[in-house]
Amino acid sequence: MSQLPTNINTIQAVNLALDDAMAADANVIVLGEDVADGQEGGIVGVTKGLSSKYGTSRVRSTPISEQAIIGASIGASMVGMRPVAEIMLMNFTTVAMDMIVNHAAKLRFMSGGQTNVPIVIRTMTGAGFGTGGQHADYLEAWFAHVAGIKVVAPSNPADAYGLMLSCIRDDDPCLFIENMPSYWNPGTPPERGVAIPLGKANVVRTGTDVTLISYSRRVQEVMATAEALAKDGISCEVIDLRTVSPLDTETILTSVAKTGRAVVVHEAVKPFGVGAEIASRIYEALFRQLKAPVARVGAQFCPVPFSRPLEDAFVPGVVEIEAAIRATLK
Amino acid sequence: MNAYQPPSSEVLVDIYRRMTLIKQNDERFRAVIKAGKLVMPYYSPRGQEVIPSAMSVCLTDDDYICTIYRGVHDMIAKGVPLKELWAELGGRVTGTCKGKGGPMHVTHPASGVMVTTGIVGSSMPIANGLALATQIRGEKRVAVAYFGDGASNIGAFHESLNMASVWKLPVIFVCQNNGYAEHTKYGYGTSVANIAQRAVAYQMPGVTVNGNDPIAMHKAAREAVERARDGDGPTLIEANTFRFQGHVFGDPDAYMDKHEKAAWVARDPVPLFRQWLIDSKHATEEQLAAMEADHEAQIDAAVEFTLSSEYPDVAELRRDIFKDEVIA
Phi, psi of A323 (to 5 degrees): -60, -40
Burial call A131-151: b when 16+ CB within 10 Å, e when fewer: beeebbbbbbbbbbebebbbb
pLDDT confidence of residue B327: 84
Non-local CB neighbours of A55 within 8 Å, separated by 6+ positions: none
Q: What amino acid occupies position A36?
A: A
Tell me, yes or no, whether B267 lies in a domain: yes
Distance from the B274 Cα atom to the nearest Cα atom in chain A, whole angstroms: 35
pLDDT confidence of residue A17: 98
The answer to whether B53 touches B176, Cβ cutoff 8 Å, is no
**Domain residue ranges in chain A:** 10-179, 202-329
Cβ contact (<8 Å) for B99 and A79? Answer: no
How large a percentage of chain A has pLDDT more than 70?
A: 98
How large a percentage of chain B has pLDDT more than 90?
A: 93
pLDDT digits (tens, 9 = 90+) for A60-106: 999 999 999 999 999 999 999 999 999 999 999 999 999 999 999 99
Rounded-to-integer distance, Cα B319 and Cα B326, Å: 6
8-state DSSP, A60: E
CA A220 to chain centre: 13
Rounded-to-integer distance, Cα A271 and Cα A58, Å: 41
Rounded-to-integer distance, Cα B71 and Cα B102, Å: 12
Mean pLDDT of A4-9: 82
pLDDT confidence of residue B2: 61
Q: What amino acid occupies position A42?
A: G
Rounded-to-integer distance, Cα B174 and Cα B155, Å: 16
pLDDT confidence of residue B5: 85
pLDDT confidence of residue A136: 97
Burial call B123-137: b when 16+ CB within 10 Å, e when fewer: bbbbbbbbbbbbbbb
Tell me, yes or no, whether B328 lies in a domain: no
pLDDT confidence of residue A4: 65
Rounded-to-integer distance, Cα B321 and Cα A115, Å: 11
pLDDT confidence of residue B40: 92
Tell me which residue range forms the domain holding B130. Answer: 9-244+254-309
Torsional sign, CA B52, B55, B61, B62: negative
Phi, psi of B238 (to 5 degrees): -105, 110
pLDDT at A284 > cutoff 60: yes
pLDDT confidence of residue A299: 97
Cβ contact (<8 Å) for A108 and B320? Answer: yes
Q: Which residues are paired to B236 by β-bridges?
A: B173, B206
Measure CA of the first residue to CA of the last residue in chain A; give whole Å. Answer: 53
A12-to-A198, B1, B91, B264 alpha-carbon distances in Å: 21, 48, 49, 63
Kind and range of the H or E run holding A121: strand A120-125
What average pLDDT is seen over chain B? 96
Cβ contact (<8 Å) for B323 and A109? Answer: no
Tell me, yes or no, whether B322 lies in a domain: no
As a dihedral over the C-alpha atoms of residue B207, residue B210, residue B215, residue B218, rounded to 10 degrees, the angle is: 40
The model's pTM is: 0.97
When CB atoms are compared, the residue of B95, B96, B128 closest to A71 is: B128
Torsional sign, CA A210, A215, A217, A220: positive
Reported as half-sphere exposure (CB side, CA atoms, 13 A), residue B137 has a value of 19
Quickly count: other Cβ atoms within 10 Å of residue A39's Cβ: 15
A94–chain B Cβ distance below 8 A for any pair: no
pLDDT digits (tens, 9 = 90+) for A309-325: 999 999 999 999 999 99
When pLDDT is cut at 50, 70 and 90, the band that residue B230 belongs to is very high
Mean pLDDT of A165-175: 98
pLDDT digits (tens, 9 = 90+) for A112-146: 999 999 999 999 999 999 999 999 999 999 999 99
Tell me, yes or no, whether B327 lies in a domain: no
Phi, psi of A72 (to 5 degrees): -65, -40
Mean pLDDT of B153-168: 98
Q: What CATH number should be reported for the domain holding residue B34?
A: 3.40.50.970
Tell me, yes or no, whether B88 lies in a domain: yes
pLDDT confidence of residue B31: 97
Q: Which CATH class is domain A202-329?
A: alpha beta
A312–chain B Cβ distance below 8 A for any pair: no
Distance from the A208 Cα atom to the nearest Cα atom in chain B, whole angstroms: 30
pLDDT confidence of residue A2: 55
Q: Is A135 a catalytic residue?
A: yes
B250-to-A88, A234, B20, B245 alpha-carbon distances in Å: 45, 67, 23, 9
A77–chain B Cβ distance below 8 A for any pair: yes
The answer to whether A132 touches A306, Cβ cutoff 8 Å, is yes
Quickly count: other Cβ atoms within 10 Å of residue B258's Cβ: 9
Q: Would the CATH topology of A10-179 be identical to that of A202-329?
A: yes
When CB atoms are compared, the residue of B122, B130, B320 closest to A79 is: B130
Tell me, yes or no, whether B318 lies in a domain: no
Mean pLDDT of B32-49: 95
Chain B nearest-CA residue for A110: B101
pLDDT at B129 > cutoff 80: yes
Tell me, yes or no, whether B61 lies in a domain: yes
Distance from the B259 Cα atom to the nearest Cα atom in chain A, whole angstroms: 38
pLDDT confidence of residue B274: 98
Mean pLDDT of B232-251: 94
- Pick the residue of B62, B159, B323 with the most A CBs within 10 A to test the interface with A by mutation: B159
Non-local CB neighbours of B131 within 8 Å, separated by 6+ positions: A75, B64, B141, B142, B143, B164, B169, B170, B171, B228, B234
Mean pLDDT of B276-292: 98
**Number of domains forming the structure of chain B:** 1
Q: For the domain A10-179, what is the CATH code?
A: 3.40.50.970
Nearest CA to B269 among B221, B215, B212?
A: B212
Tell me, yes or no, whether B194 lies in a domain: yes
Out of A33, A103, A135, A140, the active site residue is A135
The answer to whether B211 touches B181, Cβ cutoff 8 Å, is no
Mean pLDDT of B124-128: 98
pLDDT digits (tens, 9 = 90+) for B72-117: 999 999 999 999 999 999 999 999 999 999 999 999 999 999 999 9
pLDDT confidence of residue A3: 60
Torsional sign, CA B314, B316, B318, B324: positive
How large a percentage of chain A has pLDDT more than 90?
A: 98
Reported as half-sphere exposure (CB side, CA atoms, 13 A), residue A309 has a value of 0
3-state helix vs strand vs coil in chain B, percent to 5: 50, 10, 40
Mean pLDDT of A1-5: 60
